[in-house]
Amino acid sequence: MLKRRATILGATGSVGQTTLNLIKAANEARDAEIEVVAVTANSKVDELAEAAIACRAEFAAIANPHAGEELAARLVGTGIKSGAGTQAVLDAAAMDADWVMAAIVGAAGIEPLLVAAERGADIAFANKECLVCAGDAVLAAIKKGGGKLLPVDSEHNAIFQVYDFDRPHRIRKLILTASGGPFRERERASLAEITPAEAVKHPNWSMGAKISVDSATMMNKGLERIEAAYIFPTPKEDIDIVVHPQSVIHSMVDYVDGSVLAQLGTPDMTIPVASALAWPDRINTPAEQLDLTKVGRMDFFPADEEQFPALRLARESLDEGGMATCVLNAANEVAVAAFLKGHLPFLDITGVTEHCLETVRSNHAGTGLAEILATDKLARDRAWARVEELAQRR
């Protein structure tokens, strides 16, 4: 039987909740024995306490340093220990779980991820921004610790399931599928008045706000290209993107003999999370089974970098290397946050990111954590300044 001691970083989020629900279902079905060591969240005290109690976690950490007393009060009598502040989240990552779900959103997840990776935990990898921003440091930490990198992003999980790691030279290309987001069929100019509520409504997947906006701009697929370049030993030039609106094929590997291997399934994150939890075994999940007769047809289109300039920005920053992808990620995080708060029009999200890529020149040569965090800060400050500048012009 599958046995794991699991920690969930970002337990109150979309992926975090999917993970906890799966663990509960697998334990109840006696398909696995998963103990939850620690759960963490940013600021939602009630949700975190509820999650910690439901999965009988040993420790709950809230990043907001002012929420410690409230969290402790909610956990009185449960035997669950708690802590608040960034150090508490790092303490959670340092505990002895052998499997850590990295499901914090954004570069805020880097340090806890590095702590878990360096001590040798297997990392279930949802938090793509960490790889985009600090890919070398993350891979070095996993190598040092000796744990496995288990991709959770559905595309990368799909590729992972059909990738021949013993013969990467027999792979011609990776094909990442993209749903195209909610605005696939819209003229770019018609997106000027898009509201946050419209942008977060994804046609196929139910996800957190930031990744939903990234799907609408298609920056998500750009970030995923960079993520794939770090995870798989296939050259970055050989990573293609194809739009597949039904989201049934989650990605493919094209081999030199002409065989193309794909992983299919309903669009439910439970499936890649289960794959990462049980790998190389498999477990039952409550996910809806794929019925191809109901799907009926599958369409494929080329990805349009003119309609979705975020795809071009991500590709160019991957080509440029160095700190470019760190700047791309930080600027995009700020631009998306500004859009979600109503401070930036939808079409300016990629404009702010492009401005930062053109103007932020990091004088940090290394790729160590200190340099990455300094560049990340530089890009964030520039992005916020740009958001204000654009607001004044309107």
| Residues at the interface with ligand NAD (CB under 6 A) | 10-16, 41-42, 63, 89, 103-105, 108, 126-129, 153, 205, 207-211, 269
> For residues 269 and 383, which CB has a smaller minimum distance to ligand NAD in the complex?
269
Q: Which does 387 bind (CB under 5 to 8 A by kind): Mg ion, ligand NAD, none?
A: none
35 is in an annotated binding site: no
Q: Which does 4 bind (CB under 5 to 8 A by kind): Mg ion, ligand NAD, none?
A: none
154 is in an annotated binding site: yes
Please give the structure tokens belonging to residue 262: 């794909």
Q: Which does 207 bind (CB under 5 to 8 A by kind): Mg ion, ligand NAD, none?
A: ligand NAD
12 is in an annotated binding site: yes
> For residues 92 and 187, which CB has a smaller minimum distance to ligand NAD in the complex?
92
> For residues 23 and 63, which CB has a smaller minimum distance to ligand NAD in the complex?
63
- Confirm or reject binding of residue 111 to Mg ion (CB under 5 A): no
Sign of torsion over alpha carbons 331, 335, 340, 342: positive
Residue 40 sits at φ, ψ, to 5 deg, of: -135, 160
Give the number of C-alpha atoms closer than 13 A to the C-alpha of residue 355, restricted to the C-beta side. Answer: 19
- As a whole number of angstroms, the distance between CA 148 and CA 152 comes to 12
Taking the complex as a whole, the smallest distance from the CB of residue 106 to ligand NAD amounts, in Å, to 6
Q: Which does 63 bind (CB under 5 to 8 A by kind): ligand NAD, Mg ion, none?
A: ligand NAD
Contacts of 291 (CB under 8 A, 6+ apart): none
> For residues 267 and 359, which CB has a smaller minimum distance to ligand NAD in the complex?
267
Start-to-end CA span in the chain (Å): 61
> For residues 11 and 77, which CB has a smaller minimum distance to ligand NAD in the complex?
11
> For residues 67 and 213, which CB has a smaller minimum distance to Mg ion in the complex?
213
Q: What is the number of the residue whose Cβ is closest to ligand NAD?
A: 13
Q: Which does 211 bind (CB under 5 to 8 A by kind): Mg ion, ligand NAD, none?
A: ligand NAD
DSSP lists the bridge partners of residue 176 as 241
- As a whole number of angstroms, the distance between CA 192 and CA 186 comes to 11
220 is in an annotated binding site: yes
Please give the structure tokens belonging to residue 85: 């502040």
155 is in an annotated binding site: yes
Taking the complex as a whole, the smallest distance from the CB of residue 304 to ligand NAD amounts, in Å, to 22
Give yes or no for a contact between 360 and 332, defined as CB atoms under 8 angstroms apart. no
147 is in an annotated binding site: no
> For residues 103 and 137, which CB has a smaller minimum distance to ligand NAD in the complex?
103
Give yes or no for a contact between 22 and 43, defined as CB atoms under 8 angstroms apart. no
Sign of torsion over alpha carbons 215, 378, 232, 32: negative
Burial status of residue 230 (CB atoms within 10 A of its CB: 0-12, 13-18, 19 or more): buried
Region of 152-160, 250-258, 276-284, 382-390 interacting with Mg ion (CB under 5 A):
152-160
* CA nearest to 211, candidates 358, 332, 99, 318: 332
Taking the complex as a whole, the smallest distance from the CB of residue 226 to ligand NAD amounts, in Å, to 12
* CA nearest to 350, candidates 172, 218, 204: 218
Taking the complex as a whole, the smallest distance from the CB of residue 12 to ligand NAD amounts, in Å, to 4
Taking the complex as a whole, the smallest distance from the CB of residue 75 to Mg ion amounts, in Å, to 34
Please give the structure tokens belonging to residue 338: 């500004």
Burial status of residue 30 (CB atoms within 10 A of its CB: 0-12, 13-18, 19 or more): exposed
Please give the structure tokens belonging to residue 376: 């990340």
Q: Which does 205 bind (CB under 5 to 8 A by kind): Mg ion, ligand NAD, none?
A: ligand NAD
- Confirm or reject binding of residue 153 to Mg ion (CB under 5 A): yes
> For residues 17 and 307, which CB has a smaller minimum distance to ligand NAD in the complex?
17
- As a whole number of angstroms, the distance between CA 126 and CA 214 comes to 15
Taking the complex as a whole, the smallest distance from the CB of residue 57 to ligand NAD amounts, in Å, to 14
Taking the complex as a whole, the smallest distance from the CB of residue 211 to ligand NAD amounts, in Å, to 4
266 is in an annotated binding site: no
179 is in an annotated binding site: yes
Q: Which does 350 bind (CB under 5 to 8 A by kind): ligand NAD, Mg ion, none?
A: none
Contacts of 267 (CB under 8 A, 6+ apart): 154, 204, 205, 247, 248
- As a whole number of angstroms, the distance between CA 384 and CA 389 comes to 9
Site residues, Mg ion (CB under 5 A): 153-155
Q: Which residues are annotated as a binding site for NADPH?
A: 12-15, 127, 129, 208
